Structure 1
Amino acid sequence: MREGSAVRAGSRALAPARPSRPTCPAHRLDRHPGYRRHPSRKDATHPQLSSLRAQHDLPQHGDRTQKLESRAQVSTLPQLQPRCFEDLAVAASIIRPGPIQAGSKHPYLRRRAGLEPVTYPHPLAEPALSKTLGVPLWQEQAMALAIDCAGFTPGEADRLRKAMAAKNSPEKVAQLRGRLFAGIAAKGIDQAASERIVGMIEAFSDYGFPQSHAQSMAGIIYASAWVKYHFPQALLAAIMAHLPMGFYDAQTLIQDAKQHGIEVRGVELQRSGVHATLEPHTDRPEQRPAIRRGLTSVAGISEEIAEQILTARGTAAFRSVADVARRTRLSAKLMEQLATAGAFDGLGVDRRTALWSAGAYTGEIQDVLPGLDDLAPAPELPVMTAAEATAADLEASGASATTHPAQHLRALLASHGAQPAREARDLADQTRVRVGGLAKYIQRPPTARGVAFGALEDETGMINLVFSPPVWERTREAVLGAPAVLLEGHIERDRGSVNMIVHRAHALAGPARAHQPGRFR
């Protein structure tokens, strides 16, 4: 790994942003003031770094980082309280179908917190399960159980591993069921323990990590947590430069940046690179650089077109909408997309005027009339309201750098008794609450028995949502289809994690296309 990059660590998520002629050396960490090389895995066990609470409290407090992004993973972190590298390998593994089907998650968290004793289905299972408090988290443990408790040879255990990794793994593992029970019986293990051991092994036919994979992911988690703690602007800009990727959309990443005290600036033809870059504050050089959204964040602007714009800009700064049209030869549709995104603001042209002008300067006339700048001026048009500008941002680029869509609904939400998400997260257990905003990242995993999970996002942050199967059936239309929602429910607190148990949902109108519900699984 080349020292100083935004910590590639085997993950595209941590790579420096694609080259885009940035306005400053954007994502090379060794060019940032105060840079020092990030700790290696060996450093993670050093006493000085043994507590991630003291050094990098992101995983402790549920702040998302690479490979720990889903709402289930984030809400588990306060209960897990990771303090060393091995804990991060557990965090990467525990919210997977295999450990969940094996019944590992809740016993592990309770045992780690000292709320229940560590037990084993049989003394012969202890060597395989002792590192993970008596429950299996990794495929290698299932193999070790087969060897220690069922008398499998290493070759048979390897066939079990291949069966667990096969496309039709449940059927493949089931074919070994008779051999498992026969071997366990030969060891003199009683029926109840036998069923429990085989159940643990069979659970890993439904996808679980090898420990080596978990260790690799832990390295990415540790490195990205370190970078996010010390250089959040570089990491967030690099992720924005590689969208779409990961779990979160551009609006959530923008809110994340703001909550870390980082300014995010919209697309601007005079300043934006191909992808997201960093811009220093000229009047406050000691402050963290701002993130400037890239040209490719605008729908329809490819890397090739963005490079075309930068090539034209490289000869001289743009002077007007007409100048942009003539020198870039963009289609009217792309010019209108840039105008909608506010990309002409730096030229002193408001969005409606830019939209009118973009339509006037079509590709067919760009090289025909030498007096292009002298065409009839745009009529006086009303400047967009703040809500209209946010809606335009969402229409053109999927996110607003200036205002979260829910902020425009705050007066309406307050009239319905809704609290901001940040305040709702601080309420006591079992408190009744109303919140409103954008329902996002809805998931209904097969292992959850019909329960749906997601998040409610507003201008103050997020709160986790849980829908029981009956509630989900009643509310899914509003949650998935409405621009915004008002939710009623109660707060559930459990050893640091906070969820809102939803009872009812009401559809709300909001800024046009303010809601992207995300993929539903």
Structure 2
Amino acid sequence: PPDIDIDIESDRREEVIQYVYDRHGRHHTAQVANVITYRSKSAIRDMAKALGYAQGQQDAFSRQVDRWRDVLSGAIEDDTTIPLPVVELAAEIEHFPRHLGIHSGGMVMCDRPVIEVCPVEWGRMEDRSVLQWDKDDCAAAGLVKFDLLGLGMLSVLHYATDLIAEHHGVEVDLATLPQESCVYDMLQKADSIGVFQIESRAQMATLPRLKPRTFYDLVVEVALIRPGPIQGGSVHPYIRRRNGLEPVTYLHPLLENALAKTLGVPLFQEQLMQIAIDVANFTPADADMLRQAMGSKRSRERMDDLKARFFDGMRTNGITDDIGEQIWLKLAAFSNYGFPESHSVSFSYLVYASSWIKYHYPAVFCAALLKAQPMGFWSPHTLVGDARRHGVVVRTPDLNRSAAAATLEPCEGSTGSVSVRLGFDYVRGIGRDLAEEIDAGRPFASVEDLRRRVPSLSLAHLEALATAGAFGCFGIDRRSALWAAGAMSQTSADRLPGIVTGVEAPTLPGMSPQELSHADLWATGVAPDGHPTSFIRGDLTERGVVTATDLADVASGERVLVGGVVTHRQRPATAQGTTFLNLEDETGLINVVVSKGCWQRYRQIAKGAPALLIRGRLEKEEGVINIVADKLEPLPIGAAPASRDFR
């Protein structure tokens, strides 16, 4: 049966799910289950629990293994302190089913009561009924599954167009955006943090080499940096041909019809089908059958039959078995992950729309991204840092100026004459519902007024608001606000106002800029007025540490010392053990390549340190700068935002 995907604004996905339940009835529709299996960390943790180890010890054991490795290689080869009985039991249950979850958006609809087809149970989430089968079971039973997928960028674009209309008086129609060379110039510089689909480390490293100049270049970019083209060896040949460094060639002239627009390099599923039609005389239906067979776990007998027919058709067209085998291997390499061209075109329009807004309205783009979190590749701290490098002023939460979510306010010193104000939902422990309750009560006359009118605020909430500087509107600094928060936790709506004692703080020392930055990171995860490395830049300079922006002036091949906060640790399946790190300092981002041997040598530091000093060889190629690491050491900086590892 077909697998139908529908992308929806992430904030409205639940609305659509409930619409489906209401429209078709719970007897005829349900969500698909997701079978959660044991991975290395969960297996270690649960087996330690079964053997009687305390909660803290369970967590300590699980932290010693890497989530992308199996139990035995992670626990034994890395010389951990996990007891052998725990390791042995964990290895036995690894990949066993652990529990049922709810598929992120898969729903099944039937023409008869769904309980006649599959057992159903109530989900733990409110108003969710769930099949006890996963998506593969549903497909095997012939059930049609609809994936109602929440796409954060659709929410971002919605927020952005609303903010542009509200603060700039311009009605932006995303369907009629002009194609502008200035937007493509921005992308050629890899200035794409926050932009849909092309903000990852790998995409940003490709943009200066691909140099997109037209919309179809974006279509190719979206499809190029994916497991299929990487495994199939398509990325570098395409870029070399694109830049005139390699001639466009075809394994056989019959391939030109399908591959001409991608310079002889297969990228799209539609090309696989066209190749089968052109070189093997398949009908369109046969070609689609081949696409499905190559892209799924079909029987070996069926694949062997299709391959035999494929080679028979090629021989009829005068293609030798040697060339035919190369064509077949090239198709098989990317068929599992080959991206449909139609999807790539649709995604590319979101790429261009988000790029256009980032270029023309950077403050709007930042606020919209912050409102739509969690989503994307980069943390809010990095998104804010990028906005500030584009001249946008970003302000911390303020009790009488902030809204529930991030918003804009007039500011002549900021790009576009508007600054970004963080919302209450960024304050530690304050969720969306409580943030909206605070927003609805504005303005407040005092901390006591807030506590009496929003009684659901706990002492921890008040202290987090104080630490974030939200009470600055009352003319008190953060330490005095913390003092007052402790006293005001005693009052409530059912007590007389004005009787709380100990509200006035004694004379307390002011907070240094570094302390303010640490307070912001603790309270909101964002330090808009001070990156952690900026406070130790003098010491770093004395040690010869080069900033992200100054790397452009260093010759390729030279050994350099760089330092910054770790934003990502990634080890793609296609990297053969190589780990990619991203460092961020106050001037920008640094790409670091860590070989398998180097990672093993500095494994504990590389895995756990929130900030690193890295010595290595600088590589420059077509505008892309990488550091190939040979030595890693921890960089003590105090507070730092959490990294996003192995995503």
Q: Which has the higher contact order (CA 8 A, sep 6+)?
A: 1
1:441 equivalenced with 2:581 (yes/no): no
Q: Map of 1:117-516 to 2, 5 A cutoff?
A: 117-166=247-296, 168=297, 174-175=303-304, 176-281=306-411, 287-313=416-442, 317-329=443-455, 330-362=457-489, 365=492, 367-372=494-499, 375-512=502-639, 514-516=640-642
Counterpart amino acid of residue 453 in structure 2: R
Q: In 2 relative to 1, CA 81–214 (structure 1 residues): closer, same or farther, beyond 3 Å?
A: same
Structure 2: distance between partners of 1:198 and 1:488? 44
Partner Cα separation in structure 2 for residue 169 and residue 363 of structure 1: 66
Structure 1: runs of 5 or more not aligned: 1-9, 20-24
Aligned to 2:128: none
Amino acid at match of 2:280: A
Structure 1 pair 100/58, CA: closer, same or farther in 2 (3 Å)?
A: same
| 1:13 maps to 2:143 | no
1:70 aligns with 2:200: yes
Question: Cα 1:384–1:284, aligned 2, differ >3 Å: closer, same or farther?
Answer: closer
Structure-2 separation of matches of 1:236 and 1:307: 20
Q: Which one-letter code corresponds to 2:624 in the other structure?
A: S
One-letter amino acid of the counterpart of residue 158, structure 1: D
Distance 1:86 1:58, change over 3 A: same
SS of 1:472's partner is: helix
Q: Tell me how far apart the structure 2 counterparts of residues 26 and 298 of structure 1 sit (CA, whole Å).
A: 25
Distance 1:418 1:205, change over 3 A: same
CA offset digits 1:88-135 (Å, max 9, x no partner): 100111000111122110000001111111111111111111111111
Partner-residue secondary structure (3-state), 1:152: coil
Partner residue, 1:59 = 187
Aligned residues: 494
Task: Tell me if the contact between 2:448 and 2:491 (Cα under 8 Å) persists in the aligned partners.
Answer: no
Secondary structure of 1:59 counterpart: helix
- Separation in 1, partners of 2:314, 2:393: 61
Amino acid at match of 1:318: F
> Kindly tell me: are residues 399 and 475 of structure 1, through their superposed partners in 2, closer, same or farther at Cα, counting changes over 3 Å?
farther
**Bigger shift: residues 409-418 or 58-67:** 409-418
CA distance in 2, matches of 1:143, 1:109: 23
Distance 1:206 1:366 in 2: 61
Counterpart amino acid of residue 187 in structure 2: P
> Which ranges in structure 2 are unaligned for 5 or more consecutive residues?
1-149
Structure 1 equivalent of residue 164 of structure 2: 29
Q: Deviations over 1:234-273 (max 9, x none)?
A: 1111011111111111111111111111100011111111
* Alpha-carbon shift at residue 385 of structure 1 (Å): 2.1
SS of residue matched to 2:561: strand
CA contact (8 A) 1:170 1:206 kept: no
Shift of 1:405: 1.4
Instruction: Give SS of 2:484's match.
Output: helix
How many Å separate the matches in 2 of 1:42 and 1:184? 45
Deviates more, 1:387-396 or 1:126-135: 387-396
Question: By how many angstroms is 1:434 displaced?
Answer: 0.9
State the distance in 1 between where 2:307 and 2:482 align: 67
Shift of 1:186: 3.9
Q: Which residue of 1 aligns with 2:245?
A: 115
Q: Secondary structure at the match of 1:268?
A: coil
> Which amino acid letter does the alignment assign opposite residue 414 of structure 1?
T
User: In 2, Cα distance between the equivalents of 1:229 and 1:440?
Assistant: 24
Amino acid at match of 1:430: G
Aligned residue identity for 2:346: S
CA shift at 1:425, angstroms? Answer: 3.4
Moved more, 156-165 or 255-264: 156-165
TM normalised by structure 1 equals 0.88
In 1: Cα distance, 2:301 partner to 2:432 partner: 46
RMSD of Structure 2 on Structure 1 (CA): 2.6
CA distance in 2, matches of 1:170, 1:416: 60
Mapped partners of 2:472, 2:172: distance in 1: 39
1:462 aligned counterpart, secondary structure: strand
In the alignment, what sits opposite 2:13? none
SS for the counterpart of 1:435 is strand
Change (3 A) 1:292 1:143: same
**What is the CA-CA distance between 1:299 and the residue it aligns to?**
2.1
C-alpha contact (below 8 Å) 1:466/1:501 kept by paired residues:
yes
Give the TM-score of the pair, scaled to structure 2.
Answer: 0.72
- Cα 1:472–1:182 shift into 2, 3 Å: farther
Q: Partner letter of residue 304 of structure 1?
A: D
Other structure's SS at 2:324 match: helix
Structure 2 vs 1, CA of residues 372 and 212 (structure 1 numbering), >3 Å: closer, same or farther? farther
Deviation, 1:402, is: 1.1
Aligned residue type for 1:466: V
Give secondary structure in 1 for the equivalent of 2:626: strand
Partners of 1:268 and 1:363 in 2: CA distance: 22
2-structure distance, mates of 1:84, 1:153: 33
User: Any idea what SS the aligned residue of 1:344 has?
Assistant: helix
**How far did residue 18 of structure 1 move?**
8.6
SS at match of 2:577: coil
Q: Is the 8 A contact 1:164 1:170 kept in 2?
A: no
Q: Which moved more, 1:232-241 or 1:402-411?
A: 402-411
For the residues of structure 1 that align with 2:161 and 2:172, how far apart are their CA atoms? 17
Q: Matches of 2:474 and 2:257 in 1, distance apart?
A: 69
Q: Deviation per CA, 1:434-477, whole angstroms, max 9, x where unpaired?
A: 11111222211111211222311000010222222222222343
Partner amino acid, structure 2, of 1:61:
K
Q: Is the 8 A contact 1:421 1:462 kept in 2?
A: yes
2:642 is the alignment partner of 1:520: no
Q: Distance in 2 between matches of 1:319 and 1:405?
A: 34
